[in-house]
């Protein structure tokens, strides 16, 4: 029986620097593989926080335990983020408080918080702006498929226009 490390020996990746992000901050790595424990150490992530690898829709973000290895030599930059298992923040969406437990929120999730459902029809146009966000994204606007980091009492304004 071989273990994961035997399948992927630690090696320099042809002298090339590989890039990754951890909680929105850019880092460089000189090996093809990085473990969850190495991501935790590099990003100074507390032991009690969970680590995830951001994955494009329609797939779910992948949990990365300390022993899991991730291949950084794939075509795109890998984006990791951490989440406090017991995290709860109050977001202000269209003037109403909304409890949120994740470190990141998507455009579509905000639409659901604001209007209880999301209609992807081309006749519906949603506009999302935000303010009082964390240092990664203190203020701005969002479009479909965007995600932003959140913090307690962050303000979101969400509108819907029907073009029909």
Among 91, 74, 79, which Cα is nearest to 51's? 79
Q: Are the C-beta atoms of 124 and 159 separated by less than 8 Å?
A: no
Q: Is the pLDDT of residue 12 over 70?
A: no
Q: Is the pLDDT of residue 110 over 50?
A: yes
What's the average model confidence in pLDDT over 8-28?
76
Would you place residue 2 in the very low, low, confident or very high pLDDT band (cuts 50, 70, 90)? very low
Domains of the chain: 11-84 (2.40.240), 89-162 (2.40.240)
- Higher per-residue pLDDT: 26 or 6: 26
pLDDT over 70 for what percent of the chain? 90
Query: Using omega within 30 degrees of 0 as the cis cutoff, is the peptide bond preceding 58 cis?
Result: yes
What's the average model confidence in pLDDT over 6-11?
45
- Higher per-residue pLDDT: 85 or 13: 85
Q: Is the pLDDT of residue 26 over 90?
A: yes
**Which residues, including other chains, have CB under 8 Å from residue 105's CB and lie 6 or more apart?**
91, 147, 148, 150
Q: Is the pLDDT of residue 126 over 80?
A: yes
């Amino acid at each position: 029986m071989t273990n994961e490390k035997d399948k992927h020996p630690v090696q320099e990746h042809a002298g090339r620097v590989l890039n990754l992000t951890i909680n929105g901050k850019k880092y460089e790595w000189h090996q093809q593989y990085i473990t969850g424990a190495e991501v935790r150490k590099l990003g100074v992530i507390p032991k009690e926080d969970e680590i995830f690898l951001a994955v494009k829709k329609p797939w779910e973000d992948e949990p990365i335990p300390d022993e899991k290895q991730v291949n950084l030599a794939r075509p795109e930059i890998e984006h990791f983020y951490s989440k406090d298992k017991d995290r709860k923040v109050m977001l202000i969406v269209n003037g109403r408080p909304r409890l949120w437990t994740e470190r990141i929120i998507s455009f579509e999730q905000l639409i659901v918080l604001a209007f209880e459902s999301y209609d992807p029809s081309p006749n519906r146009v949603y506009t999302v702006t935000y303010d009082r966000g964390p240092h990664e994204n203190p203020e701005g606007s969002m479009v479909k498929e965007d995600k932003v980091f959140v913090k307690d009492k962050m303000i979101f304004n969400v509108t819907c226009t029907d073009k029909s």
